[in-house]
Amino acid sequence: MIGGSTQHAVADTRKVRNRAVNTRLIRSGPDEGGSDTDRDQDGGLAVETAKPKLKRPPMFKVLLVNDDYTPMEFVVHVLERFFAMNREKATQIMLTVHTAGSAVVGIFPRDIAETKSEQVNLYSQENQHPLVSTVEMTD
């Protein structure tokens, strides 16, 4: 490409590099001996589209467990404070826990789920309430 358009050569190089990121080599035959300009778009290599490399993280449920002693208003306060619920939503979830025995109060990546659950349990202990939250894998 001596004397050719430098602009054009740079654009071609970029295309090849981008394709290399998104394709996987599946076959590499012997060089047929043609010059570079005779090769096909992939330079003679058989390629296929690679799987996307980013995966969503596994998610974990944070549950609240019912007990006979924690005041309802404290549970509502916990749901507002640690799970960003408004009063209406927090009251509805608290009553679900109260009647059903437990309820999922949020679904998060593992570290966030563990941290929120620990924060709830610590805060409950500090306030002398037996309220407990747990973490479970999603199915």
**Number of residues binding to ligand TYC, judged by CB under 6 A:** 13
Q: How far is the CB of 75 from ligand TYC (least distance, A)?
A: 4
Q: What separation in angstroms does the CA of 73 have from each of 44, 79, 81, 129?
A: 70, 10, 12, 12
Q: How far is the CB of 122 from ligand TYC (least distance, A)?
A: 15
| 31 to 70: interface string for ligand TYC, x by CB under 6 A | ---------------------------------xxxxx-x
Sheet holding 102-109, edge to edge: 102-109, 59-65, 132-137
CA angle, 129 as apex, 102 and 66 as ends, to 5°?
Answer: 15
Q: How far is the CB of 139 from ligand TYC (least distance, A)?
A: 22
97 binds ligand TYC (CB under 6 A): yes
